[in-house]
Structure 1
Amino acid sequence: MKQRTRFLIGLSLLFLFLFLPDRGYAKEQNRIDETEQRAGFTIRAEIPENQVDKAKSYFHLAIGKDHEQTIKVKIFNNTDKEQTYQILVNPAKTNKNGIIVYDDLDTPLDSSLKLPITDIVKPDNKTVTIPAWSEGEASLTIKLNDQVFSGVILGGVHISQKESEEKTQKGMSVSNRYGYVSGIALVQNAETSIFGNTELKLKKINPMVDYGSKVVEAQIQNPNAETFDKVKIEGNITKKSSQKILAEHTIDSARIAPNSFLPFQIDWGKDSVAPGTYIFEGEAKDKEKSWKFKKEFTITAKIAKEMNEQAVVKFILPDWWKQWTIICSISSVLVIGYLVYRRIHRSKKEGENE
């Protein structure tokens, strides 16, 4: 009996160990570390004298009318080979998760942005080549020709390893790119705050397919030269003349770049999209203010057909189902182990009796 108990306890501990979440976490940590290591380089902004807050690691510069200066970003090549890096300056945009990004080249600039950072900050060279285990620098020129602006102009210098293309056996090209961003915030008065909460607007509604999912995208616009911080955004969709919510979504803490829009997406789910007139209703709020949105939109028969045909069906199991599957698997293994053990033990006894 004692041997049987010890056997069952040991087997239980073994399978509990195999299913511990720490193992998955460790694998994720290793994956992240490996990605960072594969980048093979790091960068550091060289903070100039007109930095508003010298404790910040990104550029936060006060620039006056007719201003011109050169800023530099150090690049450290941590590989045993000479590397070439591409230098790009990009305006700040806001992605669908409510995160400010500096490497989005596809989303068009918002109509409220009259003076993008790309008109003011330009790299002196589009590429920089650095020997193995060495450091170099990217130089950028800031030039404001008799121009004035209010608020903050936000962007970043994006530095990435130049794409390396390798021919596969089928003649296709494969490319990998790793990059870092050093933020650039420009103000004309050192007292100007980067953050604000003047106004949010609903620009338009787009029914569409995004990465295989049927979504309704509501473009929440920040039309002013200030960054929104920690905004909760909620939204839902109903059929016109109905109170039943067909789909809904919430972002708990969004940041919205100056003069940009947040593509707030509500996943339609696995149900087919039917043509008709719908209502989007939403609200954005921070600690001080709130903005309510409501807009009617129509999904035509053509758009509904395209969305249904282009969407990829996804089956997402709830967390309780995954946990129940693990418990059942462990229980099954324990029972099988016990039955095997009992059979072996019984066979030994029968052999001794003979």
Structure 2
Amino acid sequence: MVNKLIALLAVVGVLISGILIHTETSKAAEMNFSVSAVIPENQIDKSKTYFELRMKPGQVQELEVLLTNGLAHPVTVETNANTAVTNDNGIVDYSNKAPKFDNTLKTPFSKIAEMPDEITIPANGSRTVKVKVTMPRDSFDGFILGGLHFSEKDNGDKTESGEGVQIKNKYAYVIGVILSENDVAVNPDMKMNRIKPDQVNYRNVLKVNLQNVKPMILQNLDVDAQVYKEGDDEALYKAKQSALRMAPNSNFDFGISWNNQAFKPGKYRLKMVATSGDQTWKWDERFEIKADAAASFNDKAVGLEKDYTMWYVAGGVLLGLLVLGLVFWLGRRTRNKDEE
């Protein structure tokens, strides 16, 4: 099930501007309803099944989504207009209802889109959901990216997280919305914000926060990272990921596994290269793992491989002392016999 979920979430990432998707997390799932976008006249490409709209500053537009229920009983659907963010898998994510917005994001989609919290589709019938979108008054270059999220109303067997949607025996749909005002090209730019020890599923990981500071989608992002002990030339830990994507004005924590090793206090050096198309960003940063942070994470970590180096050293010293003691004792014994 985990592999299926990861694969389906990857599909979401491939949809750079939010194509219609559904997420299935159970073999027993049956489609209780379907959704389809009613494509308006200002759609840039009318062959798309998601909204890709050219709008004007201050423009107000009502989008329509048709929900259809093929069952013999009504189905209640929860609806949300979500801002696209980037999750820690390096995937554009439309499922998070209340994400922490990046500090460079001026206009979250969720702040300019209004839609009902839920809607009930009658048995063997259809309902149209209307979404009011109000563009910011100030003109901008680039994109506003979001998703209209539809899921069967929670009856106690659904959970959601920032990494995606988990619905037992249900489906969730997202119709992407990408808004722009012009064709002005926006040059991509990335920043590295912080480096810190952390954990994922109680396993030690170094997290490196990468930030897309421009209102554009970063596609085909490749990241290559190495961690060194300060002063050493041999990498202790490495991480490499390809084909990542980042939502406009978003950030995520790129994880470098500590390979089930304990965090050791000290000073380190991170070398990282990120590439997207013909753009390349390079960082060479020093950081420190504090003793208290290392101890705290190590105490909670699972699957740590024990480091027996100090025991080997202590054992070697003890063995050496025993050998010296034995030599000394044998020497005294020999002298005593000679004196007799």
TM-score by length of 2: 0.75
Q: What residue number does 1:244 align with?
A: 234
Does 2:117 align with 1:121? no
**Partner AA of 1:181 in structure 2:** V
Structure 2, unpaired ranges of 5+: 8-23, 158-166, 306-340
* Alpha carbons of structure 1 residues 192 and 157: separation in structure 2 relative to 1, 3 Å: farther
Q: CA deviation at 1:246?
A: 1.9
Does 2:178 align with 1:185? yes
Checking the alignment, whether the CA contact within 8 Å between 1:39 and 1:179 is kept in structure 2 is: no
Matches within 5 A, 1:72-111: 72-105=64-97, 107-111=99-103
Q: What residue number does 1:337 align with?
A: none
Q: What residue number does 1:16 align with?
A: none
Separation (CA, whole Å) in 1 of partners of 2:184 and 2:75:
39
Q: What residue number does 1:288 align with?
A: 278
Instruction: Decide which structure has greater helix share.
Output: 1
Q: What residue number does 2:225 align with?
A: 235
Q: CA deviation at 1:145?
A: 5.2
Checking the alignment, whether the CA contact within 8 Å between 2:210 and 2:253 is kept in structure 1 is: yes
Does 2:37 align with 1:45? yes
- Select 1:253's aligned residue among 234, 238, 243: 243
Matches within 5 A, 1:168-183: 176=168, 178-183=171-176
* Alpha carbons of structure 1 residues 186 and 192: separation in structure 2 relative to 1, 3 Å: farther
* Alpha carbons of structure 1 residues 213 and 42: separation in structure 2 relative to 1, 3 Å: farther
Q: What residue number does 2:320 align with?
A: none
Give the match's secondary structure for 1:308.
helix
Q: CA deviation at 1:157?
A: 0.8
Checking the alignment, whether the CA contact within 8 Å between 1:197 and 1:228 is kept in structure 2 is: no
- Select 1:199's aligned residue among 189, 202, 214: 189
- Select 1:161's aligned residue among 152, 155, 158: 152
Aligned residues: CA RMSD = 2.7
**Partner AA of 2:106 in structure 1:** K
Separation (CA, whole Å) in 1 of partners of 2:109 and 2:304:
40
**Partner AA of 1:179 in structure 2:** A
Post-superposition Cα deviations, 1:50-105, rounded to whole Å, max 9, x if no partner, equal 11111111111111122011101112224333111111111111122221111134
Does 2:62 align with 1:70? yes
Q: What residue number does 1:221 align with?
A: 211
Q: What residue number does 2:14 align with?
A: none
Q: What residue number does 2:132 align with?
A: 141
Q: How many equivalent pairs are there?
A: 277
Checking the alignment, whether the CA contact within 8 Å between 2:204 and 2:261 is kept in structure 1 is: no
Separation (CA, whole Å) in 1 of partners of 2:68 and 2:28:
13
Separation (CA, whole Å) in 2 of partners of 1:240 and 1:38:
55
Q: CA deviation at 1:311?
A: 2.3
Checking the alignment, whether the CA contact within 8 Å between 2:262 and 2:304 is kept in structure 1 is: no
* Alpha carbons of structure 1 residues 38 and 312: separation in structure 2 relative to 1, 3 Å: farther
Q: CA deviation at 1:106?
A: 5.9
* Alpha carbons of structure 1 residues 282 and 139: separation in structure 2 relative to 1, 3 Å: same
Q: CA deviation at 1:35?
A: 4.2
Checking the alignment, whether the CA contact within 8 Å between 1:94 and 1:100 is kept in structure 2 is: yes
